[in-house]
Structure 1
């Protein structure tokens, strides 16, 4: 159902974007399979944020990497990690670690532009459940492409 809601939102936004002057058109957050097929396409206006969320493959804790569209550039702003599980942790000089008030922590002010506005992801199993969070919607990539390599990109 979430996928259908996103489809409607994408369709409505596309219709609005077609009537808008070029400067007012949103960028598009797209997820492509290796064969080029698009499995998600979301309008992301200048200044808007979204997160990639998943369950850690060893501990099952929920992890988030959060991005923002800054003038058409995908920028990793912050990361939420409720635990110091395998592969997680703050790297000195890369943002600052602050408590989330619930035993976990945020790494704030990472502010790293993503090279070429894109990165590859091996989508996890349904237990890992890689999902995009945007504008109150949740879209599971694992439901559509578990075990596959995808490209996540911001296309201005």
Structure 2
């Protein structure tokens, strides 16, 4: 029986050795897979970190662009308001100049009517009323009787002799 017991122990020892070898192989395979997974995890993590950094950079760039766009819109709006003000000022100035020109033309026509006098022969005589009225100043009443046609026997432009 010792022999059977010895054989049984050797056989059991051999089975245990095989099992140990198989478990060691599985352990080595497991470690290799773990190392491989660690490497893959690190690669993915680095990509994720760089992706997050890229995403953060894109976000910051986007915010910068939005800020620049808002600033440009603000400047454009201010420029449009300034342009509208300048156009309004120009239009007001043009209307004022037009009014002044019309007043000057009416004044010149009024003075031309006063300076043209009719003499009894139906002849029209123009006098230098503009020079006299310019020296006397507007509204001074310093125009002569000859300019107005009064007191000299001359009649106005619409009357016949």
| TM interval, short-chain normalised | under 0.3
Report the structure number with the largest CA radius of gyration.
2
TM-score, normalised to structure 1, is: 0.13
Specify which structure has the higher proportion of strand.
Answer: 1
Higher relative contact order (CA 8 A, sep 6+): 1
